[in-house]
Amino acid sequence: MAQYLEQSKNLPPLPAIRHTIPGWFRHIIEIPEEDITQLVLMVKKDIDAFVNRKAPDFCLPDAGGKEVCLSAFQGKWVVLYFYPKDNTPGCTLEAVRFSAALEQFAALGAQVIGVSGDTPDSHQRFAEKHNLTVVLLSDTDHRVLKAYDAWKPKIMFGKEVLGTERDTFLISPVGTIVEVWRKVRVKGHAEEVKVSLESRGRG
């Protein structure tokens, strides 16, 4: 049993397991039936604390200064992603990829929303420069970032500072968080979220 538990430490969070089964399934197929429950319980410890919780509601200004509220999308899926800063390489690629896939997300009944601590004016310039069509909201006081635990300590130049963690939340049509991606790697992420949404069906 000990060897199975040791292997389980390297398993991905449960919501992502279905995407990685081919790589690690061979390690569990010989586990005795009586040990599977304990292994699954260990894996579940890695599930984000926000999963199955009601998504914190908020209202924030968009790039044009118009207030946008999460509650306005009740009845639709919402892909809510937090990113560190406009016009940085990773954040630009992420916004471009989500913008390119907006029609596909819409076909699945989903609205994509990006949030950062930048100002509405910064969002406007960011969107114009890169032809972005994704909704970008401004959280300059970090209130929403904190509500979703995406405002975290980071080490920069040897000092601890607070900053935005690149996180994504998939929110159901009834307002429940059903999946969370923390410390996102931008490459392939929009597709990863779309696949997850497709597996759940339209709202």
pTM for this prediction? 0.78
Query: Where in the sequence numbering do the catalytic residues fall?
Result: 91
Provide the number of structural domains found in the chain. Answer: 2
Query: Does 97 lie in the same domain as 7?
Result: no
CA distances 104 to 13, 53, 110, 190, 196, Å, are 26, 26, 9, 11, 13
pLDDT in tens, 148-173: 999 999 887 888 889 999 999 999 99
131 Cβ partners below 8 Å, 6+ apart?
99
For position 145, which CATH number holds?
A: 3.40.30.10
pLDDT in tens, 47-97: 899 999 999 999 999 999 999 999 999 999 999 999 999 999 999 999 999
Query: Does 164 lie in the same domain as 110?
Result: yes
Query: Does 148 lie in the same domain as 123?
Result: yes
Query: Does 196 lie in the same domain as 105?
Result: yes
Query: Does 188 lie in the same domain as 136?
Result: yes
Is residue 79 one of the residues assigned to a domain?
yes
Q: Which domain holds residue 39?
A: 2-44
